[in-house]
Amino acid sequence: MTHTAQPTASHFINGAYVEDTAGSEIACIYPASGAVVARLHSATPPLVEAALAAAKAAQPVWAAMSGTERGRILRRASDMIRERNEDLSRLETLDTGKPLQETLVADATSAADALEYFGGLAGSLTGEHIPLGGAGGDWAYTVREPLGVCVGIGAWNYPTQIACWKGAPALACGNTMVFKPSETTPLCALKIAEILHEAGAPAGVFNVVQGYGDVGATLVADDRVAKVSLTGSVPTGRKVYAAAAEGMKHVTMELGGKSPLIIFDDADLEDAVGGAVLGNFYSSGQVCSNGTRVFVQSGIREAFLTRLTERLKTVVMGDPLEEATNFGPMVSEAQMNIVLGYIDKGLEEGARLVTGGRRADLEGFFIEPTVFADVTDTMTIAREEIFGPVLSVFEFADEGEAVARANDTSFGLSAGVFTRDLTRAHRVIGQLEAGSCWINTYNLAPVEAPFGGSKLSGVGRENSKEAIYHYSQVKSVYVGMGPVDAPF
């Protein structure tokens, strides 16, 4: 790869790029062509050890800095990311295949937002004074303390954003981090580590090691680790949560979903179609919070399908590095085959294919945006997370039915409602079992608002002030101000 933003080695440990070619090879493949754009190596045990040791040693030093000083470094890193947005976006596109049109506005920028937001909060993480009364005027106070060394493990769909959604709140609270990207998208987190270090984060504060699940498992099991934050699938979440429980470690689990998007007859049709497009085809459908079960009320169903099909005709598939392209490939050949398998299953089980449904006639791992209608609640495509550009339309008659069917899933990440009826919007959202919800829009996830799932979709919340509670713990100190009144 000749790109200027290319990381110079596989790992970033203790403030420097590190290589150990003894580690098994990780080929980074550009999904739009299948070409290998970088060759990296999985971290060998000595490198995993070095990363954990560096994070452990740096943590008290980092925590001893004032929150304002830590925040200044995070905000400096945020500014640097914004200045380098073009290069970082190109790298994200090479890593994931997502179109530059998206990555220029959604990835490095979102990472910068997280560093800016949590950098701003870092100086205000204080405790409480609790007056207790009594003769001497006893009182207690609380101190919000860091957890220690945190491990971040990322999925492949938003490699830059995930590194910062985990790293920014962790570092703001005075923790250090060892981050392991998905081996499918190893490049972007390295640039975040490099920039944080350049912005002034001491060596060891944010480390990146590459590897497959075994490296992740080694990190999670290590006694020096106080917290694990995973973005990934439910099966991986189960394993990581169980491993963390052994050491009574804190966890944040951002897992998969099969989220409902409910569109009532009175919805603005263009907005509802726009919401369904955002909730199914952005990042070629590889978004955990996607509203893949689109429940459309009978009266608007035909008009919705017609308009959705028309708008999907304007998709521009092709070279993701061309800014006109607005729809990229699947992240990998393996993911493409998984999605094509689900499309076959939909056809086999009797769903009606409205549009798409095939691998596109292009180099790379492209699948056409696909819409199924007449989907029933028991079909495989209605129950399992597909993680690709496949939208399923379900018809419903009334509100109670829509809510019951929307909740009939073991996932609980997200939900959305489109209606012009204000009271219905809030009544329905109030009944939906999901952590991150939208009314009359879909899939916006600003750093100011909490993000995360209920049920099998996860534990804990990322972003917003909520994230602070998941990267810190409270020490309570009782202060006796008078004589000690003991019974004997």
Q: Indicate if 437 belongs to the active site.
A: no
Of 67 and 186, which CB lies nearer to ligand NDP in the complex structure? 186
Distance CA 46, CA 444 (A): 41
Q: Indicate if 455 belongs to the active site.
A: no
User: What is the closest distance, in whole angstroms, from the C-beta atom of residue 344 to ligand NDP in the complex?
Assistant: 20
Residue 155 near ligand NDP by CB under 6 A: yes
Binding range to ligand NDP, per CB under 6 A, among 68-76, 85-93, 251-259, 340-348: 251-259
Of 169 and 318, which CB lies nearer to ligand NDP in the complex structure? 169
User: What is the closest distance, in whole angstroms, from the C-beta atom of residue 292 to ligand NDP in the complex?
Assistant: 11
Integer Rg of the chain from CA:
24
Of the candidates 438, 466, 74, the residue with the CA atom closest to the CA atom of residue 261: 438
Residue 14 near ligand NDP by CB under 6 A: no
Q: Which residues of 127-154 are buried (b: 16+ CB within 10 A; e: fewer)?
A: eeeeeeeeeeeebeeeebbbbbbbbbbb
Of 359 and 455, which CB lies nearer to ligand NDP in the complex structure? 455
Residue 48 near ligand NDP by CB under 6 A: no
DSSP 23: S
Counting every residue written for the chain, the total comes to 488
Distance CA 215, CA 253 (A): 18
Of the candidates 241, 247, 250, the residue with the CA atom closest to the CA atom of residue 223: 247
Residue 157 near ligand NDP by CB under 6 A: yes
Residue type, 132: L
Distance CA 147, CA 176 (A): 9
What would the two tokens of residue 274 be?
A: 């726009």
Distance CA 45, CA 147 (A): 24
Give the contacts of 190 (CB within 8 A, at least 6 positions apart): 7, 9, 10, 11, 12, 17, 208
Point out the residue whose Cβ comes nearest to ligand NDP. 216
Q: Indicate if 401 belongs to the active site.
A: no
Of 180 and 470, which CB lies nearer to ligand NDP in the complex structure? 180
Binding mask 226-245 for ligand NDP (x = CB under 6 A): ----xxxx--x--xx-----
What would the two tokens of residue 283 be?
A: 């990042």
Q: Which residues of 358-385 are buried (b: 16+ CB within 10 A; e: fewer)?
A: ebbeeebbbbbbbbbbebeeebebbeeb
Of 102 and 399, which CB lies nearer to ligand NDP in the complex structure? 102
Residue 212 near ligand NDP by CB under 6 A: yes
User: What is the closest distance, in whole angstroms, from the C-beta atom of residue 338 to ligand NDP in the complex?
Assistant: 9
Of the candidates 211, 192, 283, the residue with the CA atom closest to the CA atom of residue 5: 192
Active-site entry in 164, 249, 288, 368: 288
What would the two tokens of residue 482 be?
A: 């008078």
Instruction: Please select the residue that binds ligand NDP; options are 170, 262, 263, 288, rule is CB under 6 A.
Output: 288
Residue 413 near ligand NDP by CB under 6 A: yes
User: What is the closest distance, in whole angstroms, from the C-beta atom of residue 433 to ligand NDP in the complex?
Assistant: 15
Q: Indicate if 191 belongs to the active site.
A: no
What positions carry a catalytic annotation?
Answer: 166, 254, 288, 462
**Which residues here bind ligand NDP, judged by CB under 6 A?**
153-157, 180, 182-183, 212-213, 216-217, 220, 230-233, 236, 239-240, 254-256, 288, 385, 387, 413, 453, 458
